[in-house]
Amino acid sequence: NDRQAAYNIAAFVGIGLLVLLALAIFRSYVQKRKANDSLTEKNHIINQKNQDITASITYAKNIQESILPSVETIRKELPKSFIYFDPRDIVSGDFYWFNKVDDIIYIAAADCTGHGVPGAMVSVICNNGLNRSVREHGLTTPGKILEKTREIVIQEFEKSEEEVRDGMDVALCCLEGKKLSYAGAHNPLWILRKGASEIEEYKADKQPIGKFVNPLPYQTHELELNSGDTLFIFSDGYVDQFGGEKGKKFKPKALKQLLIENEGRSMAEYHQMLEENFHRWKGNLEQVDDVCVIGVRV
């Protein structure tokens, strides 16, 4: 009887423990189910917000593209030209600018502070500054245009209660027949003469379009081009891209050599070659910056 009683007690204790274990498992399951439901709901909210943000940025891209001149418009005035434009994100801090007044053609490659949405917002202000300098103030000399653009950009940013030191680097060219004038803020001008084995480089002033300590006037370089000569202006996104076997920057020297080796190509072939080379060099690495390269052949 004592042994049977002990068995019964042990059985009741065992059943009780099993019931408690089952309750604990069920409680854990309910809590985990609630946590999963909550996580699913949060993920849905995050995904919806990401979709809304992406949709907004995509719409902003449409607005930015409407500000940029169409490639067809540029090719109509400069039939032997190309623009390799490759934003890192949906919208870009780089932009290309084009204008024509009478028989004078203006074209620029600009690189604003940052990339993505912040860079794109700065690009709108800088683009407007270039337009106003030419259309509203009637300036024709590249150096004077950059000085007025700097003034306009600084005035726009001074409206903020906080100090804003954003701005842009730019290479601005003015073509009147075969006469070329150029001014730059950090971004140089390269000239590849027909049949040449070296590139002529015209250096930019080492001051951005924006706030700068002791700003100076921008120098305007003037030169004559011959039929078959090609000019190149660009942002730093191409030469600063990491890639290759050692994951290093492409660098200006390599770009110069690439342009020289392909001197006989058409502008369309130049465009394709530069794009293919960039993606081959980048490989599986992330694109570090926006890219803008412009070529014009006389």
Tell me the per-residue pLDDT of 180-210, one tens digit each, with 9 for 90 and over: 999 999 999 999 999 899 999 999 999 999 9
- Phi, psi dihedral angles at 111 (to 5 degrees): -135, 105
- Phi, psi dihedral angles at 202 (to 5 degrees): -110, 115
User: Residue 1: what pLDDT?
Assistant: 67
For residues 132 and 149, what is the distance between their CA atoms, to the nearest angstrom? 8
Q: Tell me the one-letter amino acid at 26.
A: F
For residues 142 and 138, what is the distance between their CA atoms, to the nearest angstrom? 12
* DSSP character at residue 184: E
pLDDT digits (tens, 9 = 90+) for 120-173: 888 989 999 999 999 999 999 999 999 999 999 999 888 766 666 788 999 999
> Which residue numbers in the chain have pLDDT < 70?
1, 115, 160-164
pLDDT digits (tens, 9 = 90+) for 128-143: 999 999 999 999 999 9
User: Residue 138: what pLDDT?
Assistant: 93
For residues 204 and 65, what is the distance between their CA atoms, to the nearest angstrom? 27
Pairing outcome for strands 230-234 and 248-249? unpaired
Q: Which helix (H) or strand (E) holds 106?
A: strand 104-112
246 token code pair: 């050692």
Q: To which residue do tokens 């699913």 refer? A: 40
For residues 188 and 194, what is the distance between their CA atoms, to the nearest angstrom? 19
Strand partners, 271: none
Q: Residue 183: which of 142, 124, 138 has the closest Cα?
A: 142
Q: To which residue do tokens 């019931």 refer? A: 19
User: Residue 80: what pLDDT?
Assistant: 95
| CA 158 centroid distance within chain | 24
Q: Tell me the one-letter amino acid at 190.
A: W
Q: Tell me the one-letter amino acid at 247.
A: G
**Other CB atoms within 10 A of residue 152 CB:** 21
Is 70 exposed, middle or buried (CB count within 10 Å of its CB: 0-12, 13-18, 19+)?
A: exposed
Q: Note whether 132 and 73 are within 8 A (CB).
A: no
For residue 183, give the 3-state DSSP assignment.
strand
For residues 168 and 189, what is the distance between their CA atoms, to the nearest angstrom? 16
User: Residue 58: what pLDDT?
Assistant: 77
Q: Residue 169: which of 188, 152, 155, 151 has the closest Cα?
A: 188
For residues 143 and 183, what is the distance between their CA atoms, to the nearest angstrom? 5
Angle at 218 between CA 215 and CA 224, to 5 degrees: 170
- Phi, psi dihedral angles at 69 (to 5 degrees): -70, 145
Q: To which residue do tokens 């015209």 refer? A: 202
